[in-house]
Structure 1
Amino acid sequence: MSPASWKLAGVLALLLVTAGGVWQVQDWRYGRQLAEQAGLHQDDLNAISNAAAAQVRADQAKRLALEQRLSASEETHYRKLSDAQKDQARLRDRLATSDLRLSILLDAADPTSGRSVPAGTEAGGVVYGGARARLDRRMLNELSELPTPAIRD
């Protein structure tokens, strides 16, 4: 081998070593960039996850507050309904056992029959005709447990 070929081989080896070194440095830099990018991506994912968890907690708190309001409203409604049913049953019992007497004041004339009611009619008296039928329907509707009238007027 001639000295020129040794020089050429040395320059070629030097170029290979330099290219390998540059390649290695590029690999390190690219790896560092990928690691930084992965870290930023992980930070973004954590932020998104935290925001979603906060939203879920807020929605659960709203749902719980709504459930509590509905429960209180339902309890109040149930209590009112139960009290009304008890009052209605008590009134029915009092009417059935004649503990409660109804007195009805009518105008001087019954508008449907054209007859006048005597002024001396007492509370224990009997009212006949259309006025009695209207009174019976009204009493049935007021004392009925049904939400709709028992007898339509």
Structure 2
Amino acid sequence: MRLFDLIPAQFRIAAIGLLLVAVVAGSAALAWTAQHWRYGRVLERQARLQADTLNEISQASAALQRTEQDKRLALELRLQNKDETHYKELTDEQTKQARLRDRLATADLRLSVVLAATEPIGSCAMPTTTATGRVVHGTARAQLDPAHAQRIIGITDAGDQGLIALRACQAYAKEVSTPK
């Protein structure tokens, strides 16, 4: 006697259908599991490749960032050196101007201007008497009042400071705009 004969006739079609469903479901589950293993390996490989790519990108980004930071640091050092140089020039010029003002105030130094020539051009007349304290022969000069001399020195001092500041600005602009 066979197992199939033990099933009542009215349930045989249902049993065959159930058996077919079990076989189909089993093969589907088996295929699903095989696909899961295969695609799992593919996804794992893709995830590993993506992680490696992201790691390379982050390392390249970090190297680029270090390079840019090094460039910025070098530029800051160059600008600091330029700033110190220009500050030294400015303080030296201020010191020279202060000494000149002090010499003018104590009448140690007198400023003079050349007077308009009263002699015809080409005349090289030598002075008849020698002046003490002067070796240079030349055109007649008039000495300025100390107050006017102080104002002139103040104007030239401001001009010198402006020129030093302009050179500093130009050097800064050149340093920043020139790629290294």
Tell me, in whole angstroms, the C-alpha distance in 2 between the residues paired with 1:23 and 1:140.
Answer: 99
Gaps spanning 5+ residues in structure 1: where?
Answer: 149-153
Which ranges of 4 or more aligned residues in structure 1 deviate by more than 4 Å? 1-12, 101-104, 115-118
Query: Which residue matches 1:49?
Result: 58
Q: Alignment partner for residue 26 of structure 1, among 6, 16, 35? A: 35
Which segment is superposed worse, 94-103 or 70-79? 94-103
Tell me, in whole angstroms, the C-alpha distance in 1 between the residues paired with 2:109 and 2:155.
Answer: 13
Query: Which residue matches 2:142?
Result: 132
User: What is the CA distance between 1:132 and its match in structure 2?
Assistant: 3.4
What SS does the corresponding residue of 1:146 show, helix, strand or coil? helix
Q: Alignment partner for residue 86 of structure 1, among 95, 105, 117? A: 95
TM-score with structure 2 setting the length = 0.59
* Alignment coverage as a number of residue pairs: 139
TM-score with structure 1 setting the length = 0.67
Tell me, in whole angstroms, the C-alpha distance in 1 between the residues paired with 2:38 and 2:16.
Answer: 33
Tell me, in whole angstroms, the C-alpha distance in 1 between the residues paired with 2:17 and 2:64.
Answer: 70
Structure-to-structure mapping, 1:7-22, within 5 angstroms? 10=19, 13-22=22-31
Confirm or deny: 8 A CA contact 2:94 2:157 kept in the other structure: yes
Q: Alignment partner for residue 131 of structure 2, among 105, 122, 135? A: 122
RMSD: 4.0
Alignment-mate amino acid for residue 39 of structure 1: R
Tell me, in whole angstroms, the C-alpha distance in 2 between the residues paired with 1:85 and 1:76.
Answer: 14
Q: What is the percent sequence identity of the aligned residues?
A: 41
Structure-to-structure mapping, 1:29-40, within 5 angstroms? 29-40=38-49
Q: Alignment partner for residue 113 of structure 1, among 112, 118, 132? A: 118
